[in-house]
Amino acid sequence: MKTAKSKIVYTPPIEGSWDIPGVSYRGEKGTYRLFETMTPSLDQDELAQLYTTEKQKGNPHPTDMPLLWAIATQVYELRDENEALRDFLRKGLRKFSNTLTRIVYNTSGMDCVIHNYGTSDVYCWQ
């Protein structure tokens, strides 16, 4: 007796994203893609490891605060275009506010704001 193979094929949902043009980041304008699924809540060392792993694969990866702020600023400038994106940012940043930005407070002298902490793309503002 033969059994027929199932013809039912599961296809996982395609991840939603927004392409945001005209984002000013570190002196350049570009288009950035923001995905509906944010990284889970991680400490900065775990986030830096995820950044390194995913960037090497060419995949989306966590970001620093200046890029997140630049994206949010451009979304605000284009506010009439997508209320769902603004709502997503509002809720998402409250729930998952982790970034690769860290502040080092010095008892004397200038404090240092480290961006892309723990990655090969680290840079500092004083």
3-class state of residue 2 by DSSP: coil
> What pLDDT shows up at residue 125?
82
In angstroms, rounded to a whole number, what is the distance separating the alpha carbons of residues 68 and 32?
A: 10
Nearest alpha-carbon partner for 99 in 68, 58, 57: 68
| pLDDT-based confidence at residue 115 (cuts at 50, 70, 90) | very high
In angstroms, rounded to a whole number, what is the distance separating the alpha carbons of residues 29 and 23?
A: 5
Check pLDDT > 90 for residue 2. Answer: no
> What pLDDT shows up at residue 96?
65
Average pLDDT over residues 12-34: 87
Percent of the chain with pLDDT over 90: 37
| pLDDT-based confidence at residue 94 (cuts at 50, 70, 90) | confident
